């Protein structure tokens, strides 16, 4: 194998390595920039540019790709994801223990799960009453009586 071929193989292996790292991290987009830069450097090796030039192209390409695309990717990845408990807001629960904020008592069942509950307006709600989940405060549902 000639030295030129070894350089091409080196960059091809670097490309494969970075792609495998990217796949292993899921959709984190951690090493995709390096994989693309290794591919660009491999084309420099095919063009028989010096190894120093190939390395410089790799580093510069990595930085440029990172600077140009990372902000866009970050924006796409930082979409707020509703957690399971946030999805419960607006749903109907049934009071299984009378709710009385003055004595910190009250429980509801929501889709088969037992929750501590308090009323939003401080009113008392009797057992068996359907209530709407207004928000979640720690491990307690804040509810209001359904009209």
Rounded (10°) angle between helices 3-24 and 51-77: 10
Structural domains of the chain in order of their starting residue, each with its CATH number: 3-77 (no CATH), 84-145 (2.40.50.140)
Q: What is the mean pLDDT of residues 83-104?
A: 86
Place 90 in a pLDDT band, splitting at 50, 70 and 90. Answer: confident
The yes-or-no verdict on residue 87 having pLDDT over 90 is no
Q: What is the mean pLDDT of residues 102-130?
A: 92
How far CA 81 is from CA of 25, 29, 84, 85, 87, in Å, comes to 19, 18, 9, 11, 10
Place 82 in a pLDDT band, splitting at 50, 70 and 90. Answer: low
The yes-or-no verdict on residue 83 having pLDDT over 80 is no
Q: What is the H or E stretch that residue 96 is in?
A: strand 92-100
């Amino acid at each position: 194998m000639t030295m030129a071929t070894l350089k091409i193989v080196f960059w091809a292996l670097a490309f494969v390595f970075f792609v495998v790292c990217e796949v292993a991290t899921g959709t984190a987009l951690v090493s995709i920039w390096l994989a693309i830069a290794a591919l660009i450097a491999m084309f420099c090796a095919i063009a028989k540019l010096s190894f120093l030039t190939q390395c410089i192209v790799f580093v510069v390409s990595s930085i440029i790709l990172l600077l140009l695309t990372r902000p866009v990717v970050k924006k796409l990845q930082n979409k707020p994801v509703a957690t399971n408990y946030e999805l419960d807001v607006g749903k109907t629960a049934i009071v299984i223990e009378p709710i009385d904020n003055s004595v910190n008592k009250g429980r509801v069942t929501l889709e088969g799960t037992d929750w501590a509950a308090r009323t939003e307006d401080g009113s008392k709600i009797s057992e068996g009453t359907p209530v709407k989940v207004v928000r979640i405060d720690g491990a307690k549902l804040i509810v209001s009586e359904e009209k």
